[in-house]
Amino acid sequence: MSVTLGRRVGGQGGLWTAPNEGWGGSTPAGRMGADTGSMGAQLEGLLAKEAIESLDESALGRKFADEADFDRIDDSTFPGPIAENFYWSDDDVIGIQGPVGSGKTTTLMKSRRRRAIMMPRSTVDGVRRYKVLFIRETYRQLWSTTIPSYLETFPKSLGTWSGGRGDPVTHVIQFEDEHGPIEFTAKFMAFGDDVIASMRGVQTTDIVLNEADTMPVDILTVGIGRIDRYPSREHFAGLADILRSYGQICCDFNAPDEDNWTFRVYHDEDERNRMAAELTAALPEGAKPIRISFYRQPGYGEQGCENVQNLSPSYYGRQIASMRLAGRGDMIDRLVYNKVVYLKAGEPVFGREFQRRIHVASETIPFDPQLPIRIGLDQGFKGAAVIAQPAGFWRWRILAELHFPRERLFAHVFGTRLSELLDERCPNGRIEAGWGDMAGEHGASQAADENATWNLMVGRAAGFHIRPQRIGTNRIQPRLEAVRAALEAPLEAGEPGLLIDPSCKFLIRGFEARYVWTEEVDRNGDKRKVPNKQLTEANVMDAVQYLLLSAHRADGISPYMSRLDDKRRREGEAGQMPGSRRPPKSQGGLTTSWDVLSPYGGMQ
């Protein structure tokens, strides 16, 4: 078999030929092992492990891959340029994100063959030994997705397959090119409930995380210490330093949720650089720096969408239709258009009213020093604040949010951080007031002064007065209606009633996916739907509710009602949304169909 590869270094291609050293290199003719006639003499005096390692592969029952079969693994064509760049990458941690059908997993599998061929040649016996470990959480996942994808590229017939369903699996392939023999080993393992325990003692060259977004981040942090440990160091003795390190963690995944570790590692460049620097600092002096690279394939409909030449014209159309029929329209952006989205935790409270393309600004909303600042707050150790400016006729511009879900903050500390955010986001701004939870008026256990409250302590630290939001007496329905009124307000000068800065991640996540309905059972055993307060986004959503209520009348009627004609205003005051076809809510008391002023009004 003849194999010639172009290795890309620093973005440039170059043929590698390194006789007797490094990648490739010549080796004496013949396969691993010695003449069988002298086998007994060779094994005499050896330990069992040494004897097995020295045996000819035919004696172990292993077989070499048929050259014709191995040549059928076509790695000369690629789904597109992004996939090709991913294929050639030798960085320490790499990831590729693409829509379904983009060819990312197939490219990943083929790249393992390239990595085996370009493995530094052993200085002990001239063999290039490469081991790749495929990891999933369960063996069911391995057998349902990862192993079938692997076998499409590397059929069982190419080598020795051992293991079955529910157990670890090993596939060993022996093959040769013009530079000598190669031993390719693929292992499949499930880590179960304990990542650290399952990875203990693992020694491999590369680790593949298929569908990496479905795994915990521990698999990355633990796995980085398990790669580049096969074969043992003695096989690299005498090689240049750059050739003595050869290991990689390779990930493929669909567009993740913004909470997912793959988003932080691959989409956040600052986080990616910070992680690479930390990992590099832990290496011995003079070691090659850790490099992390990310490859994003264009989504369906984007210019340069990859692998469409290998798909039917109706492929993505069918995917979209099937997801909609299954009631999973929220997955279309993620799996078809390759967009980072928030995975829905249930039925969003404002799913009908909120539209991201309308209510979220495309870029940072500038602070207007001519407009006042209003702030909504939700009290507690995991408090939240929303900073806004009312523009025009109650056009709310949400400039920033403050929330620390992973910390439990005292009121004074939260107020200090709020003050810092205001100085940064709204320098020299005029704060009109803040509105907070009525519960924030109760005595705070964290205060030295028994008369101090959460609202009072935060206000002192932040430098403005916080009023308890009394409209609606903290009932949930008036608060939800205040938000609905802003979301449904007609456009004015091209601006919606509620415009959110893209930096407000918790608020956007709440509107889109995480502020959802749940069922509550009252003391009588009756069920009713209420917002789920168990998710952290509920704190920020409460803060924006208190803020928007500040524009409502004492009876809870929205300010937008004063801009409507008499008929639509009456509908709104009767509890019916303007223009709605629903009948108005009953006003209570005795009702009758008899009109004393027009006793014959119903007759013709």
The answer as to whether 518 is a domain residue is: yes
- At residue 490, does pLDDT exceed 70? yes
The answer as to whether 154 is a domain residue is: no
- At residue 193, does pLDDT exceed 50? yes
Average pLDDT, the chain: 82
Share of the chain above pLDDT 90, in %: 54
- At residue 21, does pLDDT exceed 50? no
Listing DSSP states for 432-501 in one string gives EEEEE-GGGGSBPTT-SSTT-BHHHHHHHHHTS-EEE--GGGG-HHHHHHHHHHHHHSPPBTTB-SEEE-
In the numeric block, the tokens 């893209």 are attached to: 502
Confidence of residue 136 (pLDDT cuts 50, 70, 90): very high
Residues 285, 418, single domain; the answer is no
- At residue 266, does pLDDT exceed 60? yes
Domain that holds residue 224: 80-135+190-296
Give the number of other Cβ atoms within 10 Å of residue 588's Cβ.
6
Residues 129, 216, single domain; the answer is yes
- What does the alpha-carbon distance between residue 391 and residue 396 come to, in Å, rounded to a whole number? 6
Residues 238, 382, single domain; the answer is no
What per-residue confidence (pLDDT) applies to 328?
A: 77
Query: What does the DSSP 8-state code read for residue 316?
Result: H
Residue 25 or 43, more confident? 43
Q: Helices (H), strands (E): how many in the chain? A: 20, 18
The last residue of one of the domains, among 273, 296, 319, is 296
Residues 275, 376, single domain; the answer is no
State the average pLDDT over residues 540-567: 78
The last residue of one of the domains, among 533, 551, 569, is 551
Q: Measured in Å, how far apart are the chain's first and last C-alpha atoms?
A: 98
State the average pLDDT over residues 147-175: 91
Calculate the alpha carbon distances from 3 to 28, 109, 117, 247, 484 in Å: 18, 17, 8, 22, 64
Confidence of residue 263 (pLDDT cuts 50, 70, 90): very high
- At residue 561, does pLDDT exceed 50? yes
Residues 115, 258, single domain; the answer is yes
Residues 433, 547, single domain; the answer is yes
The answer as to whether 216 is a domain residue is: yes
**Per-residue pLDDT tens for 98-109?**
999 999 999 999
What per-residue confidence (pLDDT) applies to 35?
A: 44
Residue 289 or 297, more confident? 297
Residues 287, 413, single domain; the answer is no
The answer as to whether 160 is a domain residue is: no
Residues 94, 221, single domain; the answer is yes
Of all helices (H) and strands (E), which one includes residue 356?
helix 356-359
> Model-level pTM greater than 0.85?
no
What domain count does the chain have? 2
State the average pLDDT over residues 125-151: 94
Confidence of residue 70 (pLDDT cuts 50, 70, 90): low
Residues 376, 521, single domain; the answer is yes
Residue-wise burial string across 466-501, b where 16 or more C-beta atoms lie within 10 A, e elsewhere: bebbebbebeeebbbbbbbbbbbbeeeeebbbbbbb
- At residue 171, does pLDDT exceed 60? yes
The answer as to whether 301 is a domain residue is: no
The answer as to whether 180 is a domain residue is: no
The answer as to whether 74 is a domain residue is: no
CATH label of the domain that carries residue 86 = 3.40.50
CATH label of the domain that carries residue 409 = 3.30.420.280
**Per-residue pLDDT tens for 379-432?**
989 999 999 999 988 899 999 999 999 899 999 999 999 999 999 999 999 999
Question: Please, how many CA atoms are within 13 Å of residue 166, restricted to the half-sphere of its CB?
Answer: 0
What per-residue confidence (pLDDT) applies to 53?
A: 47
The answer as to whether 236 is a domain residue is: yes
State the average pLDDT over residues 74-86: 89
Residues 284, 372, single domain; the answer is no
In the numeric block, the tokens 């168990």 are attached to: 534
The last residue of one of the domains, among 276, 296, 316, is 296
Residue 594 or 513, more confident? 513
